[in-house]
């Protein structure tokens, strides 16, 4: 199987490229590839590149592009996951799995009950790490794009990032009536853009729910069980992908409801 490597810029056939040390390690020490072996690069902007390894020495891998191909755009729902900062390294796991589950954007945010407090001088380091995790997950699962992780936003700014016309849902453990299933039944016709907000371990403050409702969000429940933050995020993405047709096979028609 030819490995896929994320290379976030355009290239042309015949061009020689340098890949950084971490990708050198992956190609040489993990995949055990050698000079002359083939690899596929993708830029996250709709193009894939056939390439041949020309060097694996020093601190960089060297490759030569042999072909450039536009990747056919697959019709799929656009799902943005806004995730409150959880404790420990849970967000790294969420980013990895959300990428595999097809999230088009992942927005970490702080809220009233968020426990982690990331120092200002460490934010950029965190973002580099998270984006690297997303890129590696995209390589592994065969995605042609990498989810956008723009930064760590405050709760109020996250609400304003939802696109006009999108289905805006915030998950709240105190929601007494509406399940995600019910909301999708009411809104599923023509919905191809969902902005889903998942809170921290302590849930949302009532004032935050009020602000979300004022911004056009609907509150939803994931059922009577208390789910861990990372479980809730994955459950939300799985339900949305299935309900909106993201899990259909290439020649499969969506079931009629």
| Greatest mean pLDDT among 21-25, 171-175, 203-207 | 203-207
Q: What is the pLDDT of residues 126-171, one digit of tens each?
A: 999 999 999 999 988 888 889 999 999 999 999 999 988 899 999 9
Q: Is residue 234 part of a domain?
A: yes
pLDDT at 256: 45
What range does the domain containing 110 cover? 78-243
Q: How confident is the model at residue 257 (pLDDT cuts 50, 70, 90)?
A: very low
Instruction: For residue 146, tell me if it sits in a domain.
Output: yes
Q: What is the pTM of this model?
A: 0.84
CATH number of the domain residue 42 falls in: 2.40.240.20
Identify the helix (H) or strand (E) that includes residue 141. Answer: helix 123-141
Overall average pLDDT of the 198-225 stretch: 91
* Domain assignment of residue 176, yes or no: yes
User: 10-43: per-residue pLDDT in tens?
Assistant: 999 999 999 988 889 889 988 999 999 999 999 8
Q: What are the distances in angstroms from CA 11 to CA 34, 160, 196, 219? A: 22, 35, 35, 45
Q: Answer whether residue 249 shows pLDDT above 70.
A: no
Strand residue runs (E) in 56-192 = 61-70, 78-84, 105-110, 153-154, 167-171
- Both 52 and 99 in a single domain? no
Higher local confidence (pLDDT), 207 or 177: 207
The predicted pLDDT at position 189 comes to 66
pLDDT tops 80 at residue 51: yes
Rounded to whole angstroms, the Cα distance separating 161 from 53 reads 41
* Number of independent structural domains in the chain: 2
Structure tokens of 165?
């016309």
Residue 254 falls within a domain, yes or no? no
Asked whether residue 192 is assigned to any structural domain, the reply reads yes
Domain end position, chosen among 13, 36, 70 = 70
Indicate whether 52 and 94 sit together in one domain. no
The tens digit of pLDDT for each residue in 93-135 reads: 999 999 999 999 999 999 998 888 888 888 999 999 999 999 9
């Amino acid at each position: 199987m030819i490995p896929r490597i994320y290379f976030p810029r355009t290239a042309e056939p015949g061009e020689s490229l340098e890949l950084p040390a971490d990708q050198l390690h992956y190609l040489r020490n993990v995949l055990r590839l050698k000079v002359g072996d083939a690899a596929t690069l993708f830029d996250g902007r709709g193009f894939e590149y056939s390439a041949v390894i020309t060097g694996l020495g020093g601190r960089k891998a060297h490759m030569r592009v042999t072909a450039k191909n536009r990747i056919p755009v697959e019709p799929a729902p656009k799902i943005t996951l806004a995730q409150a900062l959880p404790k420990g390294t849970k967000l790294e796991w969420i980013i990895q799995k959300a990428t595999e589950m097809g999230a088009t954007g992942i927005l970490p945010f702080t809220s009233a009950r968020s426990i982690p407090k990331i120092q200002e001088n460490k934010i950029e380091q965190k973002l580099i790490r998270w984006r690297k995790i997303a890129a590696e997950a995209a390589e592994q699962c065969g995605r042609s794009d990498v989810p956008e992780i723009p930064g760590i936003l405050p709760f109020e700014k996250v609400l304003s990032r939802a696109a006009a016309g999108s289905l805006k849902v915030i998950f709240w453990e105190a929601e007494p009536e509406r399940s995600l299933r019910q909301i999708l039944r009411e809104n599923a016709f023509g919905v191809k853009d969902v902005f889903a907000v998942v809170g921290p371990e302590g849930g949302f403050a009532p004032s935050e729910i009020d602000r979300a409702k004022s911004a056009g969000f609907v509150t939803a429940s994931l059922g009577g069980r208390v789910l861990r933050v990372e479980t809730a995020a994955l459950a939300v993405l799985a339900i949305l992908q299935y309900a909106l047709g993201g899990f259909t096979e290439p020649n499969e028609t969506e079931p009629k409801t």
